[in-house]
Chain A
Amino acid sequence: MSRKYLLEIGVEELPARFVGESIDQLKSNAINLFKEERINYDDIKVYSTPRRLTLIVHGLDGKQEDLNETVKGPAKKIAFDDEGNPTKALLGFMKGQGIDIASIYVEELNGVEYVYGNVVKEGKTIEDILSINIPNIIKNINFPKSMKWGGKNLRFARPIRWLVSLLDNKVLYFELEGIKASNITKGHRFLGSSKIEITNIDEYVDVLRQNFVIVDQEERKDIIKYGSEKLAKEKGGNLQQGEELLEEVTNIVEYPTPIIGRIKEEYLSLPVDVVTTPMKEHLRFFPVLDDKKRLLPYFITVRNGNEDFLDIVIKGNEKVLGARLEDAKFFYMDDIKKPLESYVEELKKIVFQEKLGTLYDKTKRVQKLAEKIGEYLEVGEETVNNIDRAGYLSKADLVTKMVSEFTELQGKMGMEYARHSEENEIVSLAIFEQYLPRFAGDELPTTTAGSVLSIADKMDTIAGLFAIDIHPTGSQDPFGLRRQALGVINIIIDKKLNISIKELIETALYIYVEVNGLAFDYNKVKDEIMDFINGRIRNMFMDMGIRYDIVDAVLGANIDDIYDMKIRANKLNEWLKKEGLSEILSAFNRVANLSEKAVSDEVQRDLLTEDEIELYESYNNIEEKVISSIYKKEYDKALDQLMVLKEPIDNFFEKVMVMVEDEKIRNNRLGLLKKIYNTMIQICDLSKIVSK
């Protein structure tokens, strides 16, 4: 007979950000348990609200299948006496295994006869399995932050206050640190009953609904989404999209009722972010926008409750928003009393990093580095001037009141205040774009000035922290250096910038010496950063679906230009799809291995024997063509041209002994291989390719 099981973990309000993840864990913990215990089931569902995590399993086996096991006993000659009667040894074995003489048989193992027994292990019942393991399933839910309470020896995100555990509508009892499982749950904190008996698992969802709890998170989300959209539409607007906020709000209410309130008109003249940031961050309100993305004088929030006394709730929320916006307005109006430029001086008071000086020092460095990058890329005088100005102003907004209060507005306020201070639009936009991309998949800078400033800001942080020996390790990356390196790489590729990463690192480090007088092991740090960046490039190329050996082949070629690396990787990826490459690859592999031993790539023609000349001349024939293809970035063509050498290389290795006694001849032969290798490595390191 198939069984049903319901577990509800009743908690005090969980942090919204933990809810979704915790039911995923609850589900996978249950799946693992049933797998380990050989229990079949039809279906597992999980539900969540801020106050409960629920697991419902249908079609459960009533018990484990019995297991037939063979166990080995004593040797036959010990097991039976001379008359063939069981000895004490055999009786002991049988008793120990719980079997009788009927299930005993004899079999030979390595020339010795042993006694064996068939043991039937009766399967455990689902009752036993659940009552023993459910407490662990609960304990094994991990949270980013957990707590203890009331002296109990238990950790959870917030205190557990009740447990419902029903197997086919009967309580399946267990205890978790003194919390006893029962069939009693609670409804909505204010609207529902605080003592609800669940008598039928199939009625669980409905009984909770009658008690003002929508336990299905997807249903709650829909109520919020469509209800809020409807309210916005009635005012001729749309909800500002934001999946994250929607998710969060879904996880802070049990019985959602969207409501709409008014924003005083006087706040609408402020920049949109100044108004919407406190709304979203502090109050979890949804802004309402018109078709042209302008803010309308309404907000939408979601009450955790029904429609009674909504006017009081709306009035209260309007009042709170008013106070918040009054603060924001005060910050903004105060900030714009002075031009953005005048805040730069104040950066001298703010430490960027203890050993790396103040934000003012950082400004100076970023400005210098950005200017150097601009000149290197030959972006033109006007753009260099814009970069220079944007660099100087880049961190000024960090000391404004608005950004001190809402750090996520860094850059955005800089842009607003720059516009207000009549800086030109390129400079204003670049100040915002210096922080792009802020997260994986975020937008990239659109302007050249913004791209250059963004690269400079990130490289400066990376260089400085590596110089003082703060590297990302394992999961530890407090300054987000990996993300920043990836940002640099993405911008370079997106904007097709031909820029030497090595020079970029050198310049960034040099500026630290110049501006901060920082002392560090220059060569060591430079290599560490190069390795770090290469590691990011490797990950990114692999995420793009490029084979790891191709990535190694490209990285192995010591190319310094990320955009170019990407072209190579793609070309090589395509090129390697050709048939019959494994032989040429192994030929180049041998060339690469031996050329390591070469002292130079010089070849004296008169020292070459007949068998070597073929390779020498074939190479000479293609050298110029290959180099020219590489120059034109036609890497696939260059590889095709190299293919011609396959046979001459094979012949060479067949007939010529490279490592001969005669030093001159040996070096001449190695030189020839080195010469070929040197050309090949200008495309990529083919010897890294794993041939299939």
Chain B
Amino acid sequence: MYFQDLMLKLLDYWGNKGCTILEPYDVEKGAGTMSPHTFLRSLGPEPWKVVYVEPSRRPADARYGQNPNRVYQHHQLQVILKPSPDEVQEMYLDSLRAIGIDPLKHDIRFVEDNWEAPTLGAWGLGWEVWLDGMEITQFTYFQQVGSINCELESAELTYGLERIAMYLQDVDNIFDIKWNKDYTYGDIFNKAEYEHSVYSFEKADINTLKGLFNIYEEEVKKVLEDGLVLPSYDYVLKCSHTFNVLDARGAISVSERTNYIGRVRNLARLVAAKYIEQRQEMGYPLLKKEVLKDE
């Protein structure tokens, strides 16, 4: 199965299960969780079901395109089911069948894994799902997001698409994955991997980035005062990514690190609180919609 077909199959599967199919969010981020479609929507009492692919940047994982398993940017397929349905595990397992993984022929396990994202003030309990020993999905029941208790707990499914594709295509190197019949993963991303590695580890200008971090941080607070939740959240993401680059660059000492993480978390918390306030003022439109649907 080509990489692009893998994405399409999963999007299609979850679309048929009632998830809204959305596009990636256009600000750099380290994980699908950070998209406002997850981070903000998982707060408050409103139901929400969504699926999207999220290219996720992890500067510290960059390897100049030389490592068969690690990359600067990988692709997550993210599903949010809010509230988590009773049969959520069965739905997940059916999604594996949909991409040709027959559980009877493999050893599929749910292994305890407690997910935490300190910069987002978010954590949840769940599992990593193993396919014959390999972790292919992170399965989490959100408990807190933006340091705020989840009112209506979501299930979050994060598929590691490259891992799954490597397994399905039986290749040992990520760059050998066939994206479609014409191109490999390497054809498309190898150069980007190299350049982003050089940038993150060697060239990123530390002073510029530290300055940018401060500017973005100010912008979050300023914009939030005007009650603009989404624009201010974009700058939280900017802060987070800038911090990640600085971290990969080795520009942040251990004690500074805690400090930076605390700053991003604080911003995330402010935005989350404002979002909840805003939705309440709006009278929880998605909640009303759900009621209408049920009738």
Contact = CB atoms under 8 A, between A and B. Distances in A.
22 contacts: A13-B111, A145-B125, A147-B153, A148-B150, A159-B86, A189-B108, A252-B109, A252-B111, A301-B133, A309-B104, A309-B105, A312-B105, A312-B106, A313-B132, A316-B167, A317-B107, A319-B132, A319-B134, A320-B133, A349-B254, A351-B253, A351-B254
A473 B125 CA distance: 28
A349 B256 CA distance: 11
B119 interface: no
A316 B112 CA distance: 20
Contacts of A490: none
A15 B103 contact: no
B103 A190 contact: yes
A147 B104 contact: no
Contacts of A242: none
B143 interface: yes
B225 interface: no
Contacts of B133: 283, 301, 316-317, 320-321
B253 A151 contact: no
- Main DSSP-derived SS at the B contact region: mixed
Nearest to A179: B86
A151 B132 contact: no
A189 B152 CA distance: 27
B255 A317 contact: no
B86 A161 contact: yes
Contacts of B124: 147
B168 to A, nearest CB: 12
Contacts of B68: 323
Given A320-B134, A350-B254, A149 B141 contact: yes
Contacts of A150: 83-86, 152-153
Nearest to A352: B254
Q: With a 10 A CB-CB cut-off, give which of B107, B141, B172 has the most chain A CB atoms.
A: B107
Interface string A1-23: 00000000000110111000000
Contacts of A221: none
A169 to B, nearest CB: 26
Contacts of B86: 150, 159, 161
A303 interface: yes
Interface size class of B (residues with CB under 8 A): 35 or more
A549 to B, nearest CB: 46
A464 interface: no
B131 to A, nearest CB: 7
B132 A317 contact: yes
Given A150-B84, A305-B104, A313-B132, 8 more contacts: A13-B109, A151-B83, A159-B141, A190-B104, A283-B133, A304-B108, A313-B107, A315-B132
B143 A316 contact: no
Nearest to B47: A151
B4 interface: no
B278 interface: no
Interface string A164-197: 0000000000000000000000000111000000
A429 to B, nearest CB: 30
Interface in B149-180: 150-153, 155, 167, 172
Nearest to B253: A349
Interface string B82-96: 011110010001000
B258 to A, nearest CB: 9
Contacts of A323: 68-69
Given A150-B86, A350-B254, A304 B109 contact: yes
B127 interface: yes
